[in-house]
Amino acid sequence: MFTDPKFAKKLHLNDITILSFEVMFKLITYVFAIPLFSLAEHLTMKLTGYQYLSAENLGTFFSHPLFILCILLFILSLSLYCLFEISAVIYNMHKALYNEKTDVFHTALYGCRQIQSVLFSRGNRKLLPVILLMIPFLCFGLFPAFASNLLVKELILSKLRKKPYLLPGLCIVIGTLLVFFLQLMFTCQIMMLEKVPAREACRRSLKLGKTHRRKDFSAFLKTQIVCYIAYALLLGIAILLAVLLDKILMPMRLVNSISTAVMLTISNVSFCLFASWTMPVCCICIGALYYQHKEDNGEELPDSRVVDCVTFSPFLHRFSKVKSHFSKGLFVICILICSLYVYMTYKGRLNPSIEYVHQTEITAHRGASRYFPENTMAAIKGAMEQGADWIELDIHQSSDGVLFVMHDDNLYRTCRVKGLCWNYTWEELSRMDAGNAFSNSFKGEPIPRLSDVIDYAIKNGLRLNIELKPSSFETGMEKRLVDLLEEKAFINDCVVTSQKYLSISKIKEYNPDITTVYVMGYAYGNVDRLKAADHFSINMSSVSRPLVSRIHNAGKQVFVWTVNSRTYIEDMMEKNVDNIITNDVLLAKKIVGEMHTSSAFYEYIKLLHRLFSFG
């Protein structure tokens, strides 16, 4: 029966139900897991007294009793989560075997019943260690993708260099676990379909696959390879689209930014799909092998009634009548929330404060100053279009107390006016040309007022790095800036920086909620002890890995300036800085995308780009 093509068609009877269930299940997971994980992270860090995690303090943090308790709770939750998903696949496959259609509601109901059975039956609780053993192999396809990430790979390789004997030991452990996995891989099917306790299910699993180990391993390996090929094909589509955009948009300055954004978006979506479907696809493979072995051994299959769902209450029975409308509404809500998470992640609001997993952000130095006149609205708009995470700008104060955007004290370099900026009123400054000195095409570009820049940032969701450059002639700048930020309700979307420690100290006195950054041309020693500075902006020549780790351990971030070449950008990322300030946003965003994409697949990306670039 199982070698008959008709049987294969039977197993596909409930594919739509499995697909619908997985989409809903994964969406709900993302909706609830992200805020719960964020809450657990912040709560654990707060209760344990840690402000920041890095390579230096991970050991003591991992040995903290509260962290161990959290890990145990996480392991239990992960086991039940995977049990729920495995149960869904088993339920749909077994119903399909007897030509019976299923739906998402009863699939979820069956999964809940299995969780109840495992939690409240002492004999079935022994299934949880088996599921824990299975998880790494059911999700094995994810590990190479994570391990080839630059920062993760750096951590792994650094440990192996210090202790090379760990590699053969690790291989032995993985090989041993694989043997146990192949012996116990049918435990869930046997326990749920044959209605036996977990211990007996383990014993029957050993017996069922005893003569098929090599065949089972081969089938399982092929399943993983097929998943990887599908993932690679989706990445190939991303590169083809990026190359096509390169050709269409070649005259535009934004071509690299757009094509890189398309590539990374499809790459991330592909990985999410890959991550979401690795486990159910592997479970389907195991289920098919279970039925095949039962046939080969001449054993009778359990009938379809063993997976019938019992409605727990009259409420659930009534609820099932409106499940279709409820499911559609829940689906829409989950999509909206997941979209919000994507936006917040893009804006850097969901980055966990852990050294090895944070995303390096890019700040446009004086706006997109390589392509536009610095510190102008044109440069700010250009930086936004190029995808900068932050926009850095410098401010001075006019003689009549108006804050405006300008780097130099002297107006000659950018405006071709011989004079110091604080000697002019805002009305006089507003008539000056800040663009013609850069290029004739920007003739007439005015000096922007800070309040107008903030209005534009609020409208477009931008974050600003506002650097104070006060002199003895510009008194009261700090208070005016704080008043403006409070008036515009922009405190949470900016940082205030200065090379003068007194200035950021004043900012903290006026409003301690404003994030301050101390700008340092040279850094040495315990700079993290400067209490008025929430973070530090350091010249790249002074940045070292020990300095970054020390600042991270103090719960503070490292901004580095001004980094404009590929070599230096890659070097700063390897030193794990938090924010790179650059004149070339396009180059920096491209390098960040490359280095945060799995290196194996990035080599594949470069190959496709060469093949389809058409010279």
Residue 353 pLDDT > 50: no
Q: How many angstroms separate the CA atoms of 45 and 288, rounded?
A: 44
Joined together, the tokens standing for residue 277 give 């479907």
Instruction: Tell which wins on pLDDT, 130 or 305.
Output: 130
| 321-326: long-range pairs with CB below 8 Å, 24+ | 323/103, 323/104, 323/105
Secondary structure class of 104 (helix, strand, coil) = helix
The answer on pLDDT for 573 being more than 60 is yes
The answer to whether residue 332 sits within a structural domain is no
What's the domain range around 453? Answer: 361-595
Does residue 553 carry a pLDDT above 90? no
Q: pLDDT tens across 143-177, in order?
A: 555 544 444 455 566 566 667 777 788 788 888 98
- What is the DSSP code string of 310-361? PP--HHHHHHGGGHHHHHHHHHHHHHHHHHHHHHHHHTTSS--SBTTTPPPE
Residues 410 and 286 in one domain: no
116 and 42, same domain (yes or no) = yes
Instruction: Please report the pLDDT score of residue 300 as a whole number.
Output: 84
Instruction: Please indicate, yes or no, if residue 367 is contained in any of the structural domains.
Output: yes
Which residues are marked as active site? Answer: 365, 407
Tokens 């951590």 belong to residue: 155
**Half-sphere exposure of 65 toward its Cβ, with a 13 Å CA cutoff?**
0
445 domain residue, yes or no? yes
Residue range 43-65, pLDDT digits in tens:
777 777 765 555 456 667 778 88
Answer yes or no: do 375 and 281 share one domain.
no
Please state, for a pLDDT cut of 90, what percent of the chain lies above it.
Answer: 27
Q: Residues 11-27: pLDDT tens digits?
A: 677 778 888 888 778 77
Q: What is the pLDDT of residues 457-497, one digit of tens each?
A: 999 989 999 999 888 888 899 999 999 999 999 999 999 99
Backbone angles phi, psi at 250, to 5 degrees: -55, -40
Token digits for 269?
């979506």
3-state SS, residue 449:
strand
Confidence of residue 326 (pLDDT cuts 50, 70, 90): low
Position 318 in a domain: no
Report residue 293 CA to chain centroid gap.
41
Say if residue 280 is in the same domain as residue 403. Answer: no
pLDDT in tens, 239-292: 677 667 666 655 554 445 555 555 656 666 666 667 777 888 888 889 888 988
Overall number of domains in the chain: 2
What is the average pLDDT value for the chain, to the nearest integer?
79
Q: In sequence order, which residues have a C-beta less than 8 Å from that of residue 615 and are 6 or more positions away?
A: none
141 pLDDT tier (thresholds 50, 70, 90): low
**Residue 455 maps to a domain:** yes
Max avg pLDDT among 484-488, 528-532, 595-599:
484-488
Does 246 reside within a domain? no
Residue with tokens 């003689």: 399
Q: Please check whether residue 9 lies inside any domain of the structure.
A: yes
Tell me, yes or no, whether 11 and 145 share the same domain: yes
Average pLDDT over residues 418-427: 93
Q: What is the pTM of this model?
A: 0.60
Rounded Cα–Cα distance for residues 518 and 503 (Å): 9
Residues 291 and 410 in one domain: no
CA 521 vs CA 308, 369, 559: distances in Å: 70, 20, 12
* Long-range contacts of residues 399-402, Cβ cutoff 8 Å, at least 24 apart: 399/423, 399/424, 399/425, 400/425, 400/426, 401/476, 401/480, 402/426, 402/429, 402/449
Same domain, yes or no: 433 and 288: no
Using CA atoms, how far apart are residues 65 and 70, in angstroms rounded to an integer?
Answer: 9
- Which CATH number fits the domain that encloses residue 516? 3.20.20.190
Same domain, 395 and 530: yes
Residue 270 within a domain: no
C-alpha to C-alpha distances, 66 to 58, 59, 62, 554, 558, nearest whole angstrom: 14, 14, 9, 21, 29
Neighbours of 560 (CB within 10 A): 28
Domain identity same for 290 and 371? no
Q: Domain boundary residue among 304, 324, 344?
A: 304
